[in-house]
């Protein structure tokens, strides 16, 4: 037993501000235990309670003794895991036996007691619970008492009637049930080899630990073995295709001096490779596995040693033997590919056996729970007393309670299916769910990816537990749910037992918070919805008034809560707390509105990412086709190394999206992304770009093989691979770099340098577009959750007031409800401070971690937040003082900036990219290049830090435009893509920030021909960029921090902005005007 396991002897324990993860409370005729402690709750032979009913809500419940006797009581156990710590366990709530007659005057036996009720809810029921005889529940009626035997001439006493039986009802889910749901949901279509890969990745590993009956277990193991063998053969055949390709090409990287095969060998190798391709791409799997594995030689494509040894043996054996060997293998494969219509393959048989085995596990557990675990019978009538006169009357057997389901064993899908709400018990208690949510939040708040897994487990558990709330906002679903037996059970828990208040609204709040935080966690954001390096450019003054007001109001609400928590029965304190809760609810509603506006406004997060997607998708498609065309010269090399055409390889690369942490590439995380993001619905009726909602997510490692395997699971063949909504493969930046290098290394050296920059440019476009796609999807999901939260705040506003005041203020639900309101206000205050801190970091520049909320967490009180506010304000003032008083280097030196700033020449590759004409969706031609500027781009950046810009210009030498009103004006669009590095002048360290992309325009007069960069200066610039950046002087709320040069810049020259444009480029330069500080 864990040290934090609460004692089994029950005593009332109300929540306190120092410990509120374990509560024991008496309601009306009931006791309830709620906990989120790791040690859970232990129920043993000493477990007892004075009330007729006890409900236990915990993540883990331990049953430790052979007999847990609670005569006539009602016991409800609702948990994620139920553990038996004795070889057998019996929960006995049988009614008490009726008292026997005791005298001539009191001769009749008494009626047996009514049997109690036992309710079990186990989300993750272990197979050991199905072991015969291990778990028993007795809920029999009590036997009637015996009549008194008379010795005098008096009739014998009557036997007492037997008692009515109670009930034993079990609600459960199991890993096998979750796998069945997963199998049935997967689109089992496409080439059989792809399905084999999909099952090997998502199904088979989770099936190996499941236990079934001996016969079924053997069948499942055999099915898994068969399915694995199909998958192994598919891998081996793919590897053999590589070997054959190299033989056909006469190219052996392991042994370049090996002799070139003869024509007959090449011919038969081509035939064998074609046969293998036909076999692997067929929809129907080969019929008989034994014929598959007989094909020789299978090759493990992941084993370079085995592959090179096989290649070596094939090259140096007699040619005639090799020809015959290939010809024989080809014939066998062709026969296998020609499967008979209507005949089931071993693959299909194995899949059916697996489904049958998983179903058997569930049915076996259900059967055990229904027919072996419960013992629910009526109490027997008592024996009549004897007498010399007529004996007494034998007692009647008990009769079942009317309209009561005595025995039930119900399987739950935990996926929101209608049958999951067809229960009349409260399976998820709001206050205990709140405890779990706070536990998950504490792990998320650490900003430690090692704890993110723990946070995701608890968030996901809540999401499954409360999945029936997932579609509550649709009218039909809301009506179905609100009229269900489950909702009536919650009403009963509130109105009859008096154990909770407004449970439905509470659960919706918890569910939305859990799913929103899970989405943020999976998409690499923090608890406040910010990406790791996000930095608003606004001044601290922009947030100061809101922060100050929020902290002041929080302090008032905290005092009301503290006063109430200190005197839980004081109705006047309760009324004060309710009044402040109303104000807090209004603040939460306003905050939700503000965040919705930030996401959904014309210049908001969603809109800016939509523009990037719309702008970069045509460029990505054009780049894909262009690169595939240029790679045709190395087609044979790519195909023989990776069994893929260059076009397929380029298509696969277009799906890559970068993950912020290794955690975000985990299979479980990607699976949760699929569930969360691919079902986004338009909650507001706005014009959501459905084509931007990603259809599927997968993950890959740092090899092209892993990328290819991820693509084999692609279910959507209706859209092009580079469409925004097409499948995205999540990988870390390091993995992307490695797999790209692997691709480059496969290209012959004489062509590698030429194509390397093309690949880099293509990856840049992919990264920019797909990052915007992920941002759009995560933002849209966040918008959906915020709109749901807004509706909950509106519902709260209706419930707060007289309805709450009518409740018992000692009710723990009141404590957790007020605590949740207080947490909501604290979180909103911290969100404002989080934004303000990020702004201060960008103004500094400073590492944001120095302004973040470090552990322990997650939430801070008003005093701590006030100190944070003062610290941030002080840091901001120091940054402003530095801007105002430091000795800056300025370029150009004149304040009018007529001179020349720092010049950065574009590389030959960048110039080459800018020369390529592209066409937008309106048929207009444009030229574009993305330039990554780093400090080494110019010696003028040396020993200079905190560089901030006032103007950015692009000079294109050699380009021509037609005169308009006798002047030739060149127009160039410039965009800072949002992520940049700034070096601190105090620490010399690089700090990385990410903000909203910034669009600029540079126009200059080239009527006088520009032939040299020395002619490029401010005197010929037409107009000045209004970058609204603060460089000193009066400071107000609208002031914004200036950006720096070390970022990716998109340079675009359009024909519709430049009449008669001719891009005969010679040289191109970026010019940066601004200032910096010495290191």
φ/ψ of residue 133, rounded to 5: 80, -5
Give yes or no: residues 344 and 243 share one domain. Answer: yes
Averaged over 1030-1056, what is the pLDDT? Answer: 86
Whose structure tokens read 């915020």? 786
User: Does any domain span residue 12?
Assistant: no
The HSE-up count of residue 533 (CA atoms within 13 Å, CB side) is 15
Give yes or no: residues 666 and 693 share one domain. Answer: yes
Q: Which of 629-638, 848-857, 904-913 has the highest mean pLDDT?
A: 904-913
State which of 753, 787, 821 marks the end of a domain.
787
What is the rounded CA–CA span in Å between residue 931 and residue 955?
Answer: 14
Question: Does residue 529 surpass a pLDDT of 90?
Answer: no
pLDDT in tens, 975-997: 998 889 999 888 888 999 988 88
- Total Cβ atoms within 10 A of residue 450: 10
Question: Could you tell me the strand order of the sheet in which 728-732 lies?
Answer: 656-659, 728-732, 697-699
- Domain that residue 472 falls in: 415-518
What is the rounded CA–CA span in Å between residue 214 and residue 197?
Answer: 28
Question: Does residue 88 surpass a pLDDT of 90?
Answer: yes
Q: Which of 403-417, 493-507, 890-904 has the highest mean pLDDT?
A: 403-417
pLDDT at 315: 41
pLDDT at 429: 94
What is the rounded CA–CA span in Å between residue 28 and residue 51?
Answer: 9
User: Does any domain span residue 1026?
Assistant: yes
Q: Do residues 384 and 108 lie in contact, with contact meaning Cβ atoms separated by under 8 Å?
A: no
Give yes or no: residues 428 and 342 share one domain. Answer: no
Q: Lowest-confidence range among 265-274, 396-405, 675-684, 972-981? A: 675-684
Give yes or no: residues 511 and 380 share one domain. Answer: no
Question: Does residue 316 surpass a pLDDT of 50?
Answer: no
Question: Does residue 326 surpass a pLDDT of 80?
Answer: no
pLDDT at 746: 74
Give yes or no: residues 83 and 156 share one domain. Answer: yes
Question: Does residue 163 surpass a pLDDT of 90?
Answer: yes
Strands (E), 549-649: none
User: Does any domain span residue 556?
Assistant: no
What are 929's two structure tokens? 């290049």
Q: Lowest-confidence range among 34-38, 253-257, 474-478, 751-755? A: 253-257
- Total Cβ atoms within 10 A of residue 474: 12
| Residues in Cβ contact with 990 at an 8 Å cutoff, skipping those fewer than 6 apart | 981, 982, 983
pLDDT in tens, 104-145: 889 999 999 999 999 999 999 987 887 878 999 999 999 999
User: Does any domain span residue 992?
Assistant: yes
Pairing relation of β-strands 81-84 and 374-375? unpaired
Does 858 sit behind a cis peptide bond, omega within 30 degrees of 0 on the bond before it?
yes
pLDDT at 314: 42
Give yes or no: residues 616 and 722 share one domain. Answer: yes
- Greater model confidence, 793 or 993: 993
pLDDT at 117: 96
State which of 727, 752, 787 marks the end of a domain.
787
Question: Does residue 908 surpass a pLDDT of 80?
Answer: yes
Q: How far is CA 26 from CA 32, 47, 641, in A?
A: 6, 16, 71
What is the rounded CA–CA span in Å between residue 1079 and residue 1074?
Answer: 16
pLDDT at 974: 95
Q: Do residues 63 and 82 lie in contact, with contact meaning Cβ atoms separated by under 8 Å?
A: yes
What is the rounded CA–CA span in Å between residue 260 and residue 266?
Answer: 10
Question: DSSP secondary structure string, 831-854?
Answer: HHHHHHHHHHHHHTT--GGGTS-P
What domain count does the chain have?
5
User: Does any domain span residue 843?
Assistant: no
State which of 768, 787, 806 marks the end of a domain.
787
Averaged over 351-378, what is the pLDDT? Answer: 90
Q: What share of the chain is helix, strand, coil (3-state, %, to 5)?
A: 45, 15, 40
User: Does any domain span residue 197?
Assistant: yes
Percent above pLDDT 90 for the chain: 25
Give yes or no: residues 340 and 390 share one domain. Answer: no
What is the rounded CA–CA span in Å between residue 770 and residue 89?
Answer: 55
| Residues in Cβ contact with 360 at an 8 Å cutoff, skipping those fewer than 6 apart | 212, 213, 216
Give yes or no: residues 404 and 441 share one domain. Answer: no
Averaged over 422-451, what is the pLDDT? Answer: 86
Give yes or no: residues 407 and 320 share one domain. Answer: no
41 falls in which pLDDT band (50, 70, 90)?
Answer: very high
Averaged over 287-313, what is the pLDDT? Answer: 47
Q: What is the mean pLDDT of the chain?
A: 79
What is the rounded CA–CA span in Å between residue 269 and residue 246?
Answer: 10
Nearest alpha-carbon partner for 906 in 944, 959, 967, 942 = 959
H or E stretch including 410?
A: strand 407-411
Question: Does residue 934 surpass a pLDDT of 90?
Answer: yes
Averaged over 296-323, what is the pLDDT? Answer: 44
| Residues in Cβ contact with 324 at an 8 Å cutoff, skipping those fewer than 6 apart | none
Give yes or no: residues 1038 and 1071 share one domain. Answer: yes
Nearest alpha-carbon partner for 687 in 774, 775, 593, 602 = 602
pTM above 0.85, yes or no: no
Give yes or no: residues 920 and 1069 share one domain. Answer: yes
pLDDT at 881: 82
Give yes or no: residues 409 and 438 share one domain. Answer: no
Q: Do residues 497 and 29 lie in contact, with contact meaning Cβ atoms separated by under 8 Å?
A: yes
- Residue 972 pairs in a beta bridge with 1002
pLDDT in tens, 795-843: 666 655 545 545 555 666 777 777 777 887 888 888 888 888 888 888 8
310 falls in which pLDDT band (50, 70, 90)?
Answer: very low
What is the rounded CA–CA span in Å between residue 946 and residue 1031?
Answer: 12
Q: Do residues 582 and 801 lie in contact, with contact meaning Cβ atoms separated by under 8 Å?
A: yes
pLDDT at 243: 66
- Total Cβ atoms within 10 A of residue 101: 27
Percent above pLDDT 70 for the chain: 76
User: Does any domain span residue 580?
Assistant: no
Averaged over 276-292, what is the pLDDT? Answer: 75
What is the rounded CA–CA span in Å between residue 292 and residue 305?
Answer: 23
What is the rounded CA–CA span in Å between residue 769 and residue 868?
Answer: 37
503 falls in which pLDDT band (50, 70, 90)?
Answer: confident
H or E stretch including 1078?
A: strand 1067-1078
Averaged over 652-669, what is the pLDDT? Answer: 61
What is the rounded CA–CA span in Å between residue 771 and residue 530?
Answer: 14
Averaged over 919-932, what is the pLDDT? Answer: 87
- Left (φ > 0), alpha (ψ -120 to 50) or beta: where does 791 sit? alpha
pLDDT at 305: 36
Q: How far is CA 1054 from CA 87, 928, 932, 972, 1022, in A?
A: 79, 9, 21, 8, 17
User: Does any domain span residue 499?
Assistant: yes
312 falls in which pLDDT band (50, 70, 90)?
Answer: very low
């Amino acid at each position: 037993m864990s040290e934090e396991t609460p004692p089994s002897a029950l005593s009332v324990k109300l929540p306190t501000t120092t410990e509120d993860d374990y509560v024991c409370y008496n309601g009306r005729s009931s006791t309830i235990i709620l906990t989120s402690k790791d040690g859970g709750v232990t129920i043993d032979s000493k477990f007892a309670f004075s009330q007729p009913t006890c409900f236990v809500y915990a993540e883990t419940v331990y049953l430790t003794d052979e007999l847990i006797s609670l005569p006539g009581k009602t016991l409800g156990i609702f948990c994620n895991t139920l553990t038996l710590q004795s070889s057998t366990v019996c929960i006995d709530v049988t009614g008490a036996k009726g008292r026997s007659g005791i005298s001539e005057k009191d001769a009749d036996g008494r009626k047996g007691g009514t049997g109690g009720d036992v309710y079990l809810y186990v989300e993750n029921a272990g197979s050991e619970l199905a072991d015969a005889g291990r778990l028993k529940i007795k809920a029999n009626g009590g036997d009637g008492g015996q009549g008194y035997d008379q010795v005098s001439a008096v009739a014998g006493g009557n036997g007492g009637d037997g008692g009515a039986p109670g009930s034993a009802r079990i609600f459960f889910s199991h890993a096998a049930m979750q796998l069945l749901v997963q199998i049935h949901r997967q689109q089992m279509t496409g080439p059989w080899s792809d399905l084999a890969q999909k099952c090997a990745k998502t199904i088979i590993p989770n099936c190996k630990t499941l236990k079934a009956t001996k016969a079924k277990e053997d069948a499942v193991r055999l099915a898994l073995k068969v399915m694995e063998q199909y998958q192994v053969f598919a891998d081996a055949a793919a590897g053999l295709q590589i070997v054959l390709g190299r033989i056909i090409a006469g190219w052996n990287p392991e042994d370049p001096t090996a002799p070139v095969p003869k024509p007959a060998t090449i011919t038969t190798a081509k035939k064998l490779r074609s046969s293998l391709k036909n076999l692997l791409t067929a929809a129907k799997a080969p019929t008989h596995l034994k014929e598959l594995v007989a094909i020789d030689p299978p090759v493990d494509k992941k084993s370079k040693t085995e592959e090179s040894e096989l290649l070596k043996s094939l090259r140096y054996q007699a040619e005639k033997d090799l020809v015959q060997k290939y010809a024989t293998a080809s014939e066998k494969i062709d026969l296998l590919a020609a499967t008979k219509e209507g005949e089931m393959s071993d693959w299909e048989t194995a899949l059916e056996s697996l489904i049958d085995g998983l179903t058997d596990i569930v049915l076996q557990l259900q059967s055990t729970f229904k027919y072996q675990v419960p013992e629910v019978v009526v109490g027997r009538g008592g024996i009549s007393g004897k007498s010399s006169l007529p004996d007494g009357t034998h007692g009647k057997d008990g009769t079942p309670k009317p309209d009561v389901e005595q025995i039930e064993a119900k399987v739950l899908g935990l996926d929101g299916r209608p049958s999951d709400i067809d229960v009349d018990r409260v399976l998820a208690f709001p206050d205990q769910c709140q405890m779990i949510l706070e536990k998950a939040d504490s792990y998320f708040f650490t900003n430690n990816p090692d704890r993110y897994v723990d946070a995701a487990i608890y968030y996901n558990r809540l999401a499954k537990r409360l999945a029936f709330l997932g579609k509550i906002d649709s009218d039909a679903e809301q009506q179905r749910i609100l009229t269900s037996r489950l909702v009536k059970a919650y009403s009963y828990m509130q109105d009859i037992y008096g154990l909770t208040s407004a449970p439905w609204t509470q659960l919706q709040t918890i569910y939305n918070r859990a799913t929103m935080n899970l989405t943020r966690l999976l998409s690499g954001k923090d608890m406040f919805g910010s990406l790791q390096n996000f930095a608003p450019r606004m001044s601290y003054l922009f947030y100061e008034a809101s922060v100050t007001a929020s902290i002041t109001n929080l302090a008032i609400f905290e005092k009301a809560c503290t006063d109430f928590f200190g005197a839980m029965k004081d109705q006047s304190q309760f009324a004060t707390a309710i009044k402040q809760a109303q104000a807090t609810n209004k603040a939460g509603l306003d905050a939700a509105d503000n965040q919705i506006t930030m996401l959904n406004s014309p210049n908001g997060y969603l809109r800016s990412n939509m523009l990037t997607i719309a702008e970069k998708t045509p460029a990505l498609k054009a780049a894909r086709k262009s690169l595939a065309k240029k790679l045709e010269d190395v087609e044979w090399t790519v195909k023989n190394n990776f069994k893929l055409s260059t076009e397929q390889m380029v298509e696969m690369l277009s799906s890559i999206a970068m993950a912020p942490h290794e955690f975000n590439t985990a299979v479980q995380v990607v699976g949760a992304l699929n569930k969360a993001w691919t079902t986004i619905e338009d909650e507001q009726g706005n014009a959501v770009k459905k084509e931007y909602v990603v259809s599927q997510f997968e993950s890959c490692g740092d090899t092209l093989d892993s990328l290819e395997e991820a693509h084999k699971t692609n279910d959507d063949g209706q859209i092009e691979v580079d469409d925004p909504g097409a499948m995205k493969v999540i990988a870390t930046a390091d993995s992307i770099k490695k797999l790209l290098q692997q691709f480059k290394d496969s290209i012959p050296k004489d062509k590698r340098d030429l194509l390397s920059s093309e690949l880099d440019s293509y990856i840049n476009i992919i990264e920019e577009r797909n990052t915007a796609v992920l941002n759009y999807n995560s933002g849209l999901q966040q918008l959906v959750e915020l709109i749901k939260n807004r509706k909950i705040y509106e519902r709260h506003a209706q419930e707060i007031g007289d309805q709450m005041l009518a409740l018992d203020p000692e009710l723990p639900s009141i404590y957790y409800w007020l605590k949740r309101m207080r947490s909501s206000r604290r979180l909103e205050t911290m969100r404002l401070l989080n934004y303000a801190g990020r702004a201060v970091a960008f103004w500094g520049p400073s590492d944001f971690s120095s302004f973040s909320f470090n552990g322990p967490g997650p939430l801070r009180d008003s005093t701590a937040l006030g100190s944070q506010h003062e610290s941030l304000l002080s840091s901001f003032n120091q940054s402003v003082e530095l801007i105002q008083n430091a000795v800056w280097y300025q370029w150009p030196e004149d304040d009018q900036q007529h001179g020349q700033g720092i010049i950065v020449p574009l590389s030959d590759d960048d110039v080459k990219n800018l020369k390529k004409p592209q066409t937008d969706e309106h048929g207009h031609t444009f030229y574009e290049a993305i330039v990554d500027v780093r400090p080494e781009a110019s010696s003028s950046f040396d020993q200079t830090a905190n560089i901030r810009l006032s103007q950015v210009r692009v000079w294109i030498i050699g380009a021509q435009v037609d005169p308009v009103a006798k002047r030739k004006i060149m127009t160039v669009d410039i965009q800072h893509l949002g992520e940049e590095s700034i070096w601190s002048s105090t620490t010399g360290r690089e700090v990385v920030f990410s903000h909203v992309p910034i669009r600029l325009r540079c126009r200059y007069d080239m009527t006088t021909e520009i032939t040299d960069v020395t002619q490029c200066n401010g005197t010929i610039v037409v107009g000045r960029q209004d970058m609204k950046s603060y460089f000193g002087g009066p400071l107000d709320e609208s002031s914004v921090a200036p950006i720096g040069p070390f970022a990716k810049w998109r340079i675009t020259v359009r024909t519709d902005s430049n009449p008669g444009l001719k891009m005969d480029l010679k040289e191109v330069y970026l010019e940066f005007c601004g200032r910096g500080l010495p290191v």
